[in-house]
Amino acid sequence: MAPRILLARHGQTEWSLSGKHTGRTDIPLLDEGRRGAKLLGERLHREPWDALPGVEVRTSPLVRAKETCELAGFGDRATTWDALMEFHYGAYEGMTPDEIKAGRPGWLIWRDGVPEGETLAEVGARADEVVEWARSADRDVLIFAHGHILRVIGARWLGLDVSFASRIRLDPTSLSILGWAYGAPAIERWNDTGHLA
């Protein structure tokens, strides 16, 4: 079996609801986020997933991802990993895109980056580390993390530049799967929130 990555974005938080860039600020889940995490877990514990026996689970150490992992029923199998932390937004932490653009018209994080935070190359290097780990053994992996780092992992899985992440949105508590097609890295499922309906 060729390894796949199952990506679970954390549940809704106050800042994700308002569109604020939430990097290293440790924001807890809202009740809606907790409910979504439980629904995601129920989905992954039913057919065809059957609780993903043999899958290796890792989570960002930030509370919103760890709690999503725990509520989904994978906390006892998970290892925390700093490589899965969200983009460090530096001076733009806690700001919405509109607030940033008011002082920097035309700004796009995937092209322009952030002052006093991580560079796009640094985020890409962390994503490459995750991709290399996922491909290192003959087993699937499940990771619980954050919107922007998961989008970068998606881009890097495909061998594309970090900027491709601008084209693949992720909603809170979504499920995505990176796998293979015709021997090449592929997106099997992306931004699936069917369990929330």
Could you give the strand order of the β-sheet that contains 141-145, starting from the edge strand earlier in sequence?
78-80, 56-59, 141-145, 5-9, 175-181, 184-192
Q: Measured between alpha carbons, how far is residue 6 from residues 62, 77, 98, 102, 109 in Å?
A: 19, 15, 31, 37, 25
**Nearest CA-CA partner of 22 in 101, 113, 114, 89:** 89
Residue 186's contacts (CB-CB under 8 Å, 6 or more residues apart) are 158, 178, 179, 180
Catalytic site residue 10?
A: yes
Radius of gyration of the chain (CA): 16
Catalytic residue chosen out of the listed positions 67, 86, 93, 118: 86
The alpha carbon of residue 178 and the mean position of all alpha carbons in its chain are separated, in whole angstroms, by 12
Convert 76-99 to b/e letters by CB count within 10 Å (16 or more is b). eebeebebbbbbbbbebbebeeee
Residues with catalytic function: 10, 86
